[in-house]
């Protein structure tokens, strides 16, 4: 294991032969880099993506790096609940599932809605991941030590959730809604961990964030896009931004812990334990989010509240 001072990088990912992972948004950015490392280490990886062409292109690139890579396309549109249900049914047919890495997301788009009418960032970043996780928990529970890794963001700090206007019917601020969705991610894995442990489940819930990484996630940020290459030089590349998710998914970690870059205010560098806002660990807010998510999606993970 890496020393605490050194931190965790992709070089510390142990052999993953015989294991199976789902990575959402695996065709580009952080998801691609997570998939690349797992595949090189011998894992079977299901690339959970919307676009079959982009998924095939990603798998072709990955095969040039690791000819023996065990890869498969898992059709998944996190903005559509029937697509999420179909993906979960397909994944349940795998012999085993060791980890679901909830990586995919959207950042600061114009006001848009999912197929079921949810505000897009809330619907994709939180509700989609919540629903997919809920549907896959029984399969994950078949493998001792299986994990759910949920990606939050530095943007969760100082964020708030507008409980009276979750679908942005009254107002819409791109960045505020993004922050709300990332706070929801943090609250979700916090509450998931509490409920899993209370029921004695074999599944572990862990969180992570990539720091500030140069990826396609910021494609809606207008003039800020020109600074992407500079951000990648000064802060994290997508390759380095993948390290916290890889640590959360493959290293010896604490249940319910949160991992992220350890340098420059958690914006860059090797991965280690990260800090969360007090709000992201509020059990009352976390339970409210859980119940609201069931109400909105109609999908219940079936885990009773923690004491």
Dist CA 248 CA 296 (whole Å): 28
Check residue 219 and give left, alpha or beta (phi > 0: left; psi -120 to 50: alpha).
alpha
Integer-rounded Cα Rg, in Å, for the chain is 18
- Distance in angstroms (rounded) separating the CA atoms of residues 241 and 267: 9
d(CA 293, CA 19): 30
CA 3 and chain centroid, separation: 25
3-class DSSP assignment, residue 63: helix
Give helix 174-198 / helix 283-297 axis angle, nearest 10°.
Answer: 100
Read off the tokens for 203: 């599944």
H/E stretch holding 258 reads: strand 258-263
Put residue 263 in one of left, alpha, beta given phi > 0 → left and psi -120 to 50 → alpha. beta
CA distance 65 to 81: 34
In the chain, DSSP finds a helix count (H) and a strand count (E) of 10, 8
What tokens were used for 184? 């929801």
Tell me the C-alpha distance between 206 and 271, whole Å: 14
> Is 178 part of the annotated catalytic residue set?
yes
Q: Tokens standing for 260?
A: 């992220």
Q: Give CA–CA dist 223/181, Å, rounded.
A: 23
Q: Choosing from 32, 172, 178, 258, which is the catalytic residue?
A: 178
Which positions are annotated as active-site residues?
178
């Amino acid at each position: 294991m890496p020393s605490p001072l050194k931190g965790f990088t992709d070089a510390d990912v142990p052999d993953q032969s015989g294991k199976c992972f789902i990575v959402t948004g695996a065709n580009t950015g952080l998801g691609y880099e997570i998939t690349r490392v797992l595949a090189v280490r011998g894992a079977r990886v299901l690339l959970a993506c919307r676009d079959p062409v982009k998924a095939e292109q990603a798998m072709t690139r990955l095969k040039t790096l690791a000819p023996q890579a065990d890869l498969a396309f898992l059709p998944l549109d996190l903005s559509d609940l029937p697509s999420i249900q179909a993906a979960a049914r397909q994944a349940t047919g795998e012999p085993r599932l060791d980890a679901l890495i909830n990586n995919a997301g959207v950042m600061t788009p114009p006001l848009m809605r999912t197929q079921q009418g949810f505000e897009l960032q809330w619907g994709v970043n939180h509700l989609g991941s919540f629903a997919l996780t809920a549907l896959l928990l029984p399969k994950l529970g078949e493998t001792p030590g299986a994990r759910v890794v949920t990606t939050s963001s530095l943007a969760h700090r100082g964020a708030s959730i507008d409980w009276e206007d979750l679908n942005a019917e009254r107002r819409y601020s791109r960045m505020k809604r993004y922050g709300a969705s990332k706070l929801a991610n943090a609250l979700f894995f916090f509450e998931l961990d509490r409920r899993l442990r209370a029921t004695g489940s074999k599944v572990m819930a862990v969180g992570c964030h990539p720091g500030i990484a140069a990826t396609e996630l910021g494609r809606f940020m207008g003039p800020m896009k020109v600074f992407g290459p500079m951000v990648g030089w000064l802060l994290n590349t997508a390759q380095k931004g993948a390290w916290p998710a890889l640590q959360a998914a493959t290293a010896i970690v604490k249940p319910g812990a949160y991992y992220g870059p350890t340098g420059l205010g958690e914006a860059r560098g090797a991965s280690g334990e990260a800090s969360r806002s007090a709000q992201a660990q509020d059990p009352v807010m976390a339970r409210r989010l859980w119940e609201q998510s069931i109400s909105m999606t109609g999908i219940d993970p079936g885990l009773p509240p923690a004491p």
